[in-house]
Amino acid sequence: MTAAYPTTWRRPPQLIRDRRWRLVLTVGAIAYLILAIGSVEVNWTRMVEGWERGLRFIGGFLQPDFTTRWRDISTGLVESLTMTFTSTVVGILISIPVGIGAARNIAPRWLYPICRSIIAVSRAVQEIIVAIFFVALFGFGAFAGFLTLTFATIGFIAKLLAEDIEDINESAAEAIRATGAGWWQLINYAVQPQVMPRLIGLSLYRLDINFRESAVIGIVGAGGIGGTLNTALNRYEYDSAGAILLIIIAIVMLAEYLSSHLRRWVR
């Protein structure tokens, strides 16, 4: 009567139960990898040349040169910082009505699709492509960058704000409605207090993102520290480039630290 008691244990498959599917997926993945890696051409002589340059870059990173190009760096930095702040403020001011219009529970029916499509367009196009167009239209400089970042902020904040408004506690809105409040009063007394902490948090987060992006869009001529970095790298001045990168990393870290603290404080 000694039933064969299992003495070994095998871990059950963790993701895909069906064996055939696993086989197909594995074979497919391997085939793709072979094809993909095969299409990567590596120029080894260029790589060896680059090695020495890479070492020089690391050297520049370890011994950054803040002084030689300080005038360029500080102009770029000031442009980046002012661009970040103004675009975040304007972007949020525009995205609040758009976000309210894109919240299904309080927006008029005809407004909803319009606001949703504004959000979709703003989110689908990469900042750098938007920047290319704004530079073409408004000329080189920080103003094009400001418009780009504003445009990108609208999609981000409005979408998250709309989702937040759709998730509000309906009973508070019901209570305000029961007092005979109009639409504006409903927004002001029922919706606004519920979404405000999160809106502040999102704004701080976006400020942080906008600074990072402002370091990038300069590459296509939209002002800011990115342009300075691009120039430094084109001139192979790795010590100045190292200094700029260190400044960017330091500001991003500081902004992240401050904004996470502020967000905790707001909550």
Partner 1 sequence: MSDALTHDRIWRHRTPRAQLVLWLFWLIVVALFIYCWNVMTARTMWVFVHDAPQAAQDLGSRMLPPRWDYMSRLWKPLWDTINIATLGTLLGVVMAAPLAFLAAQNTTPSRLIARPCALFLIVASRSINSLIWALLLVSILGPGLLAGILAIAFRSIGFVGKLLYEAIEETDIKQVEAVTATGASQAQVLNYAIIPQVLPTFYGISVFRWDINIRESAILGLVGAGGIGTQLQASLNVLAWPQVTMIILVILATVVISEWISARVRHALI
Contacts with partner 1 in 116-175 (CB under 8 A)?
A: 124-126, 128-129, 132-133, 136-139, 141-143, 146
Compute the distance between CA of residue 147 and CA of residue 70 in angstroms, rounded to an integer: 27
Instruction: Work out the widest C-alpha separation in the chain, in whole angstroms.
Output: 90
CB of 167 to partner 1, least distance (A): 19
Compute the distance between CA of residue 233 and CA of residue 144 in angstroms, rounded to an integer: 23
Compute the distance between CA of residue 111 and CA of residue 129 in angstroms, rounded to an integer: 28
Stretch that binds partner 1, among 31-39, 96-104, 149-157, 165-173 (CB under 8 A): 31-39
Q: For residues 160 and 98, is the Cβ–Cβ distance under 8 A?
A: no
CB of 108 to partner 1, least distance (A): 25
Single-letter code of the amino acid located at 193:
P
Q: Which two tokens stand for residue 59?
A: 């050297």
Contacts with partner 1 in 218-247 (CB under 8 A)?
A: 219-220, 226, 229-230, 233, 236, 241, 245
Would you say how long the chain is, in residues? 267
CB of 110 to partner 1, least distance (A): 25
The DSSP 8-state label assigned to residue 63 in this structure reads: S
CB of 123 to partner 1, least distance (A): 10
Which residue, 86 or 194, is less far from partner 1 as judged by CB? 86
Compute the distance between CA of residue 5 and CA of residue 235 in angstroms, rounded to an integer: 73
Residue among 79, 152, 195, 239 that touches partner 1 (CB under 8 A): 79
CA 153 to chain centre: 9
Which residue, 164 or 213, is less far from partner 1 as judged by CB? 213
Which contiguous run of DSSP H or E holds residue 64?
A: none
* Site of interaction with partner 1 (CB under 8 A): 11, 14-15, 32, 36-37, 39-43, 46-47, 49-50, 53-54, 57, 78-79, 81-83, 85-86, 89, 124-126, 128-129, 132-133, 136-139, 141-143, 146, 188-189, 212-213, 215-216, 219-220, 226, 229-230, 233, 236, 241, 245, 248-249, 252-253, 256
